[in-house]
Amino acid sequence: MRVTFFILLISSFILISCQSDHKETEVSLEPYTIEEGFNLKVLAAEPLMKAPVAIDFDAKGRIWVAQMPGYMNDLQGSGEEDPTGSIVILEDLDEDGIADHSKIFMDSLVMPRALAHVYGGLLYAEPPYLWFVDIEDDKPVNKVMVDSIYAVEGNPEHQPNGLELNIDNWIYNAKSNFRYRRIDGVWKKEPTTFRGQWGITHDNFGRLYYNDNSRILLGDYMLPNTVIENKYFTPNASVDKLLTNDQRVYPAFAGSVNRGYAKGVLNADSILVNATAACSPLVYRGGKFTESYDENVFVCIPEGNLIKRVLLNFTGDSTIAQQAWQKKEFITSTDEGFRPVSLKNGPDGNMYVVDMHRGMIGHYAYMSPYLRDNAKAKELDTIVNFGRILKVSRENAEVNATPDFNSLNGSELVKLLLNDNGWVRDRAQHYLIFKKFNAVIDEVKELALNTEKPLSQIHALYVLEGWNELSFDFLADVGNKSEPQVASHALVLSKDFISVNSIEQANNLFTEVLNRNDVGLDVYLANTLGHWIVLDKEKFKPLLITILKRRKKNTTVTDAILSSIAEADSILLNDGSVTKNFENTPFIEKLEKTLANKKEDRMNAIYTREVILEDTRTSGSKMFFQICASCHGADGKGIDGLAPPLMKSEHVKNRERLALIILHGLEGPVHVNGKRYDINLAMPGLIRNETISDQDIANIISYVTNAFSDRSKRLSEERIGELRNVKSATGMEFTEPELQALDEK
């Protein structure tokens, strides 16, 4: 009897111990609607995480989460500088498909915003730094600083993020003009096109897509860095393109938006009309949805509590986007806490949604009085201790086991380059490179020449590039035999093998490609030929001229050529037949401008910009809270006996009057919205503080007009400098009548 009781006691103890680790949270999805034929499932929720902003999958398929609970804890953004962020690993210990355990990998971080499993470790962004750590037993070791100026400290809405490993073996970022890569243990950083605001993704070809608040989808027509090789040429027709003019969104209810008072922002039912906080596009490449969903783009619209579906049409020299539906979205919710901020393709072919699940997602530096009052009324600022990961899957889709990449050999990884899931192909390519499995080089070369598997050919080419095992001969063979997309990559990669010894073979390859008369191939051939002209203009210039003639008005081709002729620009401009045949075309106009830039040493900004500067409103908000908030209040409503309100004040709406007050001070009495404020103390001006510059004053104006009036206004440093010399009658603080008199002049 005692033995039985002891066994029951031990069994109960074990059961309770197991249950303490299992924290599955039941979350109702009743407020959510998803497109017919798809399932939406909560994979993980609070208390396993709080304020997730980005995820990635490790070699075993586990989800790693960057958490940013310091963001907008209240309407003032308190605690933003506190080390409350972390990176955690989600685990499913009872293997029921729902996370039940959260393991801290790294904590005490300040606003971490991006992470990526690369090179067997973890790359993560914690502004201003970009770090890489190796991983041992789920713990960080051997921490290395990859970039000490990855981002300026400041507003998280305007800091680099993304860490997207592309097919070309480089890691790209949104809100940044730099890309990263590790070669033989050494990290490389180089300029690239500036892209987007929050979130970045790539398609099967390797083109990049991104967006900003009010434009749901931007993208590049060409492969990364192919049109920026000429430092004195800035492409404007082939990168950073708006892919659709349709910014319409269809929320399920009237939610809270920042500028809801402005004309056209809301419809007659107070529902958002166009995107105002679009972010984190994702090209779906999972291979588990129906064929019509392949390479569709899904876009997060957190202010509308929805996820949008966008279709892509590839023309060879451009990409055109179109919303999948009108008056309908892929996912909508009436839960105002639903804040999709990031999307990921998963190892299982499903799509994963990072739901920050936060009441306030707009930074306090940009918050309008309208939204501030609305948020208080709805108590949105109390929705802070939440966070969810959702999984989107197709109904009745076959479930495949996630391979453990750490246990796979070279041949097994090569086979995965044939997988239908783009995530799996990308990961297999990366593991083949960084683990240096080049003993299977023959298998990879065979795949690179397998024209029946074009997507796998592209991955195989970049495995060989990562191993430094390509040659011009091999690329010429691929280019001659393969379909246009694969041949385009072969042309791009061939630029690393320009040599006088390959002139004849190059001429044969380029002539064959030219004869295909394919617009996509013409773009990349044009982008290649300029590099060869300096070696033999008699052979290669006629080929380039042929492309120019048949694509005379094609601005993408023009960008491609001008990028490639950094060393041959004068050869073309000094050729009378060229200038005559293409007079008044975009090509000649841009060529002349590029040569003028070269003469004046005026380079593309990506080659001179080291960091993205902090937004003026963010800088101004910091100074406001340091200098002004103690009297006017953090909410701008003033403090009795100290200072009148700023909210909706006529003195704030007039930016020059505001500048005079900040510079020289203000002596009462003062009227705000018809109410008289008799304050004994005069507000001192900042003009005597030598540490505060005209730029600082401009930043304060930018923040104050944004936070406490109907719209943000700016004043130039030059004008502020002039206003320093405008004095009151006493030479000290202005009075209200004096300011009014100046307005009338």
Cβ contacts of 152 within 8 Å, gap of 6 or more: 127, 128, 159, 611, 612, 613, 614
pLDDT of residue 260: 83
Residues 333-366 pLDDT 10s? 999 999 999 999 999 999 999 999 999 988 877 7
- Which domains does the chain carry? 12-394 (2.120.10.30), 410-604 (1.25.10), 616-744 (1.10.760.10)
Residues 447-500 pLDDT 10s? 999 999 999 999 999 999 999 999 999 999 999 999 999 999 999 999 999 999
Distance CA 299, CA 201 (A): 11
User: What sign for the dihedral angle of Cα 703, 147, 115, 455?
Assistant: positive
User: What sign for the dihedral angle of Cα 223, 228, 233, 236?
Assistant: positive
Alpha helices (H) along 123-214: none
What is the β-pairing status of strands 665-667 and 734-735?
A: parallel
Residue 14 or 43, more confident: 43
Distance CA 558, CA 588 (A): 9
Distance CA 305, CA 133 (A): 35
HSE, side-chain direction, 13 A CA sphere, residue 267: 13
Residues 593-634 pLDDT 10s? 998 999 999 999 999 877 666 667 777 777 776 777 667 776
Distance CA 310, CA 323 (A): 4
State the Cα torsion 478-167-393-360 to the nearest 10°: -160
- Residue 247 reports pLDDT greater than 80: yes
Among the listed residues 68, 61, 17, the one whose alpha carbon sits nearest the alpha carbon of residue 43? 61
Residues 574-591 pLDDT 10s? 777 777 778 888 888 888
Tell the residue number behind the tokens 């306030």, with chain if given.
360
pLDDT band at residue 16, thresholds of 50, 70 and 90?
Answer: very low
pLDDT of residue 658: 86
Distance CA 24, CA 277 (A): 31
Distance CA 247, CA 100 (A): 38
- Residue 152 reports pLDDT greater than 80: no
Distance CA 187, CA 741 (A): 61
Kindly provide the residue ranges of all beta strands, DSSP E only, lying in 521-651, ordered along the sequence.
Answer: none
Residues 311-331 pLDDT 10s? 999 999 999 999 999 999 999
Q: Helices 655-664 and 736-744 sit at what angle, rounded to 10 degrees?
A: 140
Alpha helices (H) along 567-615: 569-573, 576-581, 586-599
Summarize the confidence of residues 284-300 as an average pLDDT. Answer: 97
HSE, side-chain direction, 13 A CA sphere, residue 636: 25
pLDDT of residue 197: 93
- Residue 153 reports pLDDT greater than 80: no
Q: Helices 519-533 and 503-516 sit at what angle, rounded to 10 degrees?
A: 160
Summarize the confidence of residues 190-215 as an average pLDDT. Answer: 96
316 in Cβ contact with 249 (< 8 Å)? no
pLDDT band at residue 254, thresholds of 50, 70 and 90?
Answer: very high
Tell the residue number behind the tokens 């394919």, with chain if given.
518
Hey, is 431 helix, strand or coil? helix
Report the share of the chain in percent with pLDDT over 90. 66
pLDDT of residue 653: 82
Question: Which token pair is 289?
Answer: 């949805």
Q: Helices 519-533 and 484-494 sit at what angle, rounded to 10 degrees?
A: 10
Distance CA 284, CA 346 (A): 10
pLDDT of residue 403: 87
Tell the residue number behind the tokens 């349709």, with chain if given.
246
Residue type, 308: K
pLDDT of residue 622: 75
Residue type, 623: M
Tell the residue number behind the tokens 């004096």, with chain if given.
738
- Give Cα 715 distance to the centre of its chain: 29
pLDDT of residue 224: 98
Question: Which token pair is 247?
Answer: 């910014």
- Give Cα 107 distance to the centre of its chain: 24
pLDDT of residue 1: 40
285 in Cβ contact with 295 (< 8 Å)? yes
**Least-confidence region, from 50-54, 188-192, 430-434, 697-701:** 697-701
pLDDT of residue 630: 61
Residue 370 or 91, more confident: 91
